[in-house]
Amino acid sequence: MERSFAAWAACLSQRTNRSLAGAMVIPPAGAGADFAAQAAQWGMAEASGAGGSDFVFDAARPPQRDMRTASGLEAMDHAARHMRVLAELMDRLAGEGMDLAGVRIAVCLVLEPKTAVLLRALREAGAQVGVFCEPSDTDQRVADQLRREGVVVEADVRWDAEETHRGALRLLDRIRPQIIIDDGASFARLAALERPELIEGLVGVAEETTSGVRAFEAMAQASALTFPVVAVNDSVLKTGFDNAHGTGETCVTTMQAILGDDAFHGARVTVVGYGPVGRGFATRVRALGARVTVCDTDPVAALKAVFDGFPAQDIDQAVREADIVVSATGVRHTIAVEHMRLMRPGTALAVIGGIANEIALDEVPGFTRRVGRDLTTIQVPGGPRLRLLAEGDGVNYTAGGGNPIEIMDLSFAVQVSAVAHLLATRGALTPGVHRLPPESDRRIATAALRVRGQSASHAVADNGYDWTLTRFADSHSEAR
């Protein structure tokens, strides 16, 4: 076989940005147990025929067209074709009375084709939409195409730090948002700190990430949160799919694109942080032949890793022999200089969490971030020379296409549900961090199953819970 599972998965993921998790695949002729096991650990199932498959393994040639070289319009349209849940939900919410006409929405998310589909959907529903993005997270072809389509865009890969700051403030001034769709609580905090006069008109915020929810909770504890926040991140369809499958999968395949298809085979990999992202990553690289060790400050998380078959160690011990070290915590200085000094020369460092200085690069003399540099070396003061991926930013969205299309379809459906909830409860939702009602996840999951030709099971009419029925009552009845 000319192409291994590792090479095929990396190629397909990077070229198409499609999700392998949840997909049906036709394996190669004569595929053995190894292929089936690897595919299963990546969340794929074997299709019975070409008509029911998402992908066909072809050992001889690359799968499908490479969307990385497509135009912005082509990449956006490609994403839209596979984001059927978002489209269905927008139609359903509109039918139930969601009115976005004239609603001013500022979006602060990674700007790439999938985000563009969300922006288009909101704009087509009548909202006045604007988007801001950091230079390192901006797909310029998408930014340019959105401008041509009339979306307010404040994002440019050429901006320096000062221009980026001005661009963010400019979007606040241009849109004067009623709703903010945020990533890391960055945009809403900027508004609160530097445009406080806009907060009075803010209906609320939909927050995408774990780190952002933490920031808003800290604001609430400090009595500084004066508006409602819907924790999109706390939806099961976000953490259980976006974090575990989307980030876990695309961080692996992006690192393969940088380090080589077989970079994980036989490699000693230390994963710091065993939440959904860390677990999703660790499971996949183990399927590719890596020897994985997990570090987590939470003993419960460390115990989960052990029961998943991963040794759990203190970080000082685990990094010493590692070939690759990844941070999956979303916590500043997870990988401190003292940890880097313990590593072997040439160890590869990557962030799959995604906040500033998750690796303590601000304490590495002479290090300066440069957009577009996927692999560089850093000299640790008093320590070894290490390889750094994606400038220490989140590797999958900085050096790759970000989370897969079908995964972001679910996450953006949750975002739209949060927007609808904020508007429906305007004036009634108190300042603080709130969760969506459980019915929101059930509705989106049902739609996601339906577009895949699958469904949940039904309940028997009389099998509801009755607290008066016990095993003792049953045995007493039988005895009589």
Binding residues for NAD(+): 275-280, 396
Q: How far apart are CA 223 and CA 249, in angstroms?
A: 38
Q: How far apart are CA 113 and CA 145, in angstroms?
A: 10
Q: Tokens 């909101």 label which residue? A: 122
Give CA separation, 17 vs 40, 247, 327, in Å: 19, 12, 23
Q: Residues marked as binding?
A: 275-280, 396
* Among the listed residues 68, 431, 470, 466, the one whose alpha carbon sits nearest the alpha carbon of residue 225: 431
- Kindly give, in sequence order, each residue whose CB lies less than 8 Å from that of residue 324, ignoring residues fewer than 6 positions away: 255, 259, 263, 264, 267, 268, 269, 270, 290, 347, 348, 349, 350
What are φ and ψ of residue 432, in 5° steps? 140, 180
Q: How far apart are CA 384 and CA 378, in angstroms?
A: 8
- Kindly give, in sequence order, each residue whose CB lies less than 8 Å from that of residue 296, ignoring residues fewer than 6 positions away: 272, 273, 274, 278, 302, 305, 312
Task: Identify whether the C-beta of residue 239 lies closer than 8 Å to the C-beta of residue 276.
Answer: yes
What torsion do the CA atoms of 93, 82, 114, 411 make, to the nearest 10 degrees?
A: 50
- Kindly give, in sequence order, each residue whose CB lies less than 8 Å from that of residue 206, ignoring residues fewer than 6 positions away: 179, 180, 181, 182, 229, 230, 232, 415, 418, 419, 422
Give CA separation, 391 vs 18, 135, 159, 358, 369, in Å: 25, 13, 16, 11, 6
